[in-house]
């Protein structure tokens, strides 16, 4: 494809992204990454090192040949983004998490950068842990599910730390989330749906805190049965870390902890995420 036609093709796609986002910076960011990714879809194309750090200058500097297949992929990717609200991460197929590239596809919940430091995020914490060079068979990870069989699963296991990123978006809040979330990511990963033993169907809670409270009550039960370890260590390590959605949920957990004869000996903290929003409830 002649250079002039390539530049016109790029500008046309970039304009669609700019109109979709109504934000030059976001459109520029996404287009540069989509273009970079398009040049990797063919194994036969040599990577000659395009500099993608110069903003819109990419239209003038993008001199690499682009195959028909790559052109089609790039055009299709932009169309999926602007017409169908397909999440950017699903188009690329990955999302960075620390030093990892986490594979993501519909309907897997996409890891958010704001909570990268604190949360489990679709098993990212476990994946990050087992990727360390010093990981050995003496440092096991046990992955459990919060299900009806959970009490049986943990009945004989000593526990040092519980970290959880449960669903915590209320049903009313979910109605106002972006289409790229509602139409693509699994609702069950966002909105609490718990199984009541007295009824056969799942019921929704009101403020998004039902799963958080269920985990806190489970923790209370484990503490009461002395299953939470009390190792002597020079480090101050939490026993429970819960990701949550807002300060209202955090205060609800805090009040329950303070009123519990079992949990009131623990020190509670509320942490903010990397964007400055209330995001974690922690017990020491």
- Whether 58 has a pLDDT exceeding 80, the answer reads no
In a shared domain, residues 221 and 130: yes
Domain finish residue from 50, 84, 118: 84
What pLDDT shows up at residue 269? 97
Model pLDDT for residues 89-132, shown as the tens digit of each residue: 999 999 887 778 888 999 989 988 887 765 555 555 555 554 55
What pLDDT shows up at residue 219? 95
What pLDDT shows up at residue 100? 80
95 occurs within a structural domain: no
- Whether 202 has a pLDDT exceeding 90, the answer reads no
148 occurs within a structural domain: yes
- Picking from 128, 166, 162, the residue whose alpha carbon sits closest to that of residue 142 is 162
Angle between helices 24-38 and 68-84 (to 10 degrees): 140
What pLDDT shows up at residue 98? 75
In a shared domain, residues 119 and 239: yes
What pLDDT shows up at residue 152? 58
99 occurs within a structural domain: no
Structure-model confidence comparison of residues 244 and 65, the more confident one: 244
What count of residues does the chain have?
284
What pLDDT shows up at residue 7? 87
Across the strands, what pairs with 204? 193
* Residue range 21-27: mean pLDDT, rounded: 96
The answer to whether the CB of 64 falls within 8 A of the CB of 39 is yes
What pLDDT shows up at residue 53? 41
- Whether 52 has a pLDDT exceeding 80, the answer reads no
Residue 247's contacts (CB-CB under 8 Å, 6 or more residues apart) are 270, 278
What pLDDT shows up at residue 131? 52
In a shared domain, residues 50 and 114: no
In a shared domain, residues 205 and 144: yes
What's the number of domains the chain is made of? 2
Model pLDDT for residues 253-266, shown as the tens digit of each residue: 999 999 999 999 99
What pLDDT shows up at residue 237? 84
In a shared domain, residues 54 and 136: no
Q: What CATH number has the domain bearing residue 134?
A: 3.40.50
In a shared domain, residues 78 and 129: no
% of the chain with per-residue pLDDT over 70 = 70
Domain finish residue from 84, 116, 150: 84
- Picking from 116, 92, 118, 113, the residue whose alpha carbon sits closest to that of residue 104 is 92
Across the strands, what pairs with 280? 243, 271
- Whether 272 has a pLDDT exceeding 90, the answer reads yes
In a shared domain, residues 134 and 266: yes
- Whether 57 has a pLDDT exceeding 60, the answer reads no
Structure-model confidence comparison of residues 24 and 138, the more confident one: 24
In a shared domain, residues 147 and 236: yes
The answer to whether the CB of 193 falls within 8 A of the CB of 170 is no
In a shared domain, residues 66 and 131: no
Per-range mean pLDDT, top range of 45-49, 63-67, 226-230, 280-284:
280-284
The domain of 69 spans 3-84
The confidence band for 49, taking pLDDT boundaries of 50, 70 and 90, is very low
In a shared domain, residues 190 and 263: yes
126 occurs within a structural domain: yes
100 occurs within a structural domain: no
In a shared domain, residues 210 and 115: yes
Structure-model confidence comparison of residues 241 and 114, the more confident one: 241
Model pLDDT for residues 151-193, shown as the tens digit of each residue: 555 556 688 889 899 999 999 999 999 999 999 999 999 999 8
175 occurs within a structural domain: yes
Say if pTM beats, i.e. exceeds, 0.85: no
In a shared domain, residues 69 and 156: no
């Amino acid at each position: 494809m002649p250079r002039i036609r390539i530049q016109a093709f790029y500008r046309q796609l970039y304009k669609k992204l700019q109109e979709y986002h109504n934000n030059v910076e976001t459109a520029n960011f996404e287009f540069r990454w989509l273009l970079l990714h398009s040049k990797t879809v063919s194994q036969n194309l040599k990577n000659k090192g395009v500099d993608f750090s110069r903003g819109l200058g990419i239209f003038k500097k993008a001199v690499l040949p682009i195959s028909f297949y790559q052109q089609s992929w790039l055009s299709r990717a932009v169309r999926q983004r602007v017409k169908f609200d397909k999440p950017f991460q699903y188009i690329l197929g990955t999302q960075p998490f620390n030093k990892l590239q986490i594979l993501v596809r519909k309907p897997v919940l996409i890891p958010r950068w704001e909570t990268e430091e604190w949360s489990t995020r679709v098993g990212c914490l476990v994946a990050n842990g087992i990727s360390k060079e010093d990981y050995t068979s003496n440092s096991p990870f046990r992955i459990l599910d919060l299900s009806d069989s959970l009490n049986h699963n943990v009945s004989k296991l000593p526990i040092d730390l519980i970290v959880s990123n449960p669903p915590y978006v209320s049903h009313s809040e979910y109605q106002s989330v972006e289409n790229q979330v509602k139409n693509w990511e699994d609702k069950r990963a966002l909105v609490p749906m718990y199984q009541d033993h007295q009824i056969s169907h799942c019921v929704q809670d009101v403020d998004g805190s039902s799963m958080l409270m269920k985990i806190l009550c489970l923790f209370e039960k484990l503490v009461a049965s002395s299953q939470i370890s009390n190792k002597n260590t020079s480090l101050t390590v939490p026993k429970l870390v819960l990701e949550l959605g807002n300060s209202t949920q955090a205060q609800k957990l805090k009040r329950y902890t303070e009123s519990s004869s079992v949990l009131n000996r623990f020190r509670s903290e509320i942490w903010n995420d990397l964007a400055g929003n209330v995001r974690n409830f922690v017990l020491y």
